[in-house]
Amino acid sequence: MYIAPADHLAKKDARALEVLAEIMDGTPTTRFYKSLVVEQKKATNVGFDYSGTALDYGRITMAATPAAGVTPEEVGALMEAEIRKVIDNGVTPAEVKGAIQRLRDQAVFARDSVQGPAMIFGNALTTGSTVQDVENWPKEIAKVTAADVQAAAKKYLDTQNPWIRPPVTGYLLPLAPASEMQNKKEGASDVQR
């Protein structure tokens, strides 16, 4: 997990990070899924999310489920390598254009319900943004360029030069093999926390 700017504190960077998240993890043909799941077969699921809806700092999270026989550390290194490609080489204008279109489509769909607009405006207003910010979002997201995305990736995701502090990595691992877990259930007195 990386610390990132809250939406209302750095709007241009926030828009670029939204586009980056969509490029990395918007569809099965985007960078993380295509590389780690389809081509390398090192993960069964991957995710990349930017959440800028906050009063102070936002966050960027990456997650993956390693394929059988692959360690979490190996998948983590592969995810970092994909991020490094963006930092060093950028993204294509076509990727940016596609990501912006998908994000705009999602925004239109979200407003096509009773709950959607309430959630959008409620989240914005309770975390420092304004009605005008929400209304201007489609125009602002459309201004994002490939250079903006690369600059945001370099600023917030470069582990060699962290923005505020280095990212935090955590792993959800099973406590023990299933056979050991069954034995512990039968003799619950030796379970430790």
Note the pTM of the prediction, 2 decimals. 0.84
The two counts, helices (H) then strands (E), for the chain are 8, 3
Could you report the per-residue pLDDT of 128-176, keeping only the tens digit for each? 888 998 888 889 999 999 999 999 999 999 988 888 888 888 888 888 7
Domains present along the chain, CATH in parentheses: 2-185 (3.30.830.10)
Band of pLDDT at residue 179, cut at 50, 70 and 90: low
Q: Which of 9-18, 31-40, 108-117, 121-130 has the lowest mean pLDDT?
A: 108-117
Phi and psi at residue 60, in whole multiples of 5°?
-120, 125
Phi and psi at residue 152, in whole multiples of 5°?
-65, -40
Average pLDDT of 171-184? 70
Q: Say how far apart CA 76 and CA 90 lie, in whole Å.
A: 20
